[in-house]
Amino acid sequence: MNQIFDMALPNNGMGILIFQASSIHGLGLFTNDDLPASTILCRRLGLRTALSLRDKRAIIGIDGIDPAVPEDFIFKKINHSCQPNATITDTGCLVNIERVFGDTEITVDYGQLLTGSSWSAACLCRSPNCRHIICSIYN
Ligand SMILES: [Zn+2]
Q: What DSSP character marks residue 26?
A: S
* C-alpha 1 to ligand 1 mean position (Å): 32
Q: How many other CB atoms sit within 10 Å of the CB of residue 71?
A: 15
Q: State phi, psi for 35 to the nearest 5 degrees.
A: -130, 135
pLDDT at 11: 46
> Whole-prediction pTM value?
0.86
pLDDT at 139: 66
Give which of 10, 96, 93, 102 is closest to 47, Cα–Cα.
93
* C-alpha 118 to ligand 1 mean position (Å): 17
* C-alpha 84 to ligand 1 mean position (Å): 9
pLDDT beneath 50: ranges in the chain: 1-14
* C-alpha 106 to ligand 1 mean position (Å): 14
* Domain annotation for the chain: domains and CATH numbers: 10-109 (2.170.270.10)
Q: Each residue of 79-102: pLDDT tens digit? A: 999 999 999 999 888 999 999 999
Give which of 85, 81, 121 is closest to 100, Cα–Cα.
85
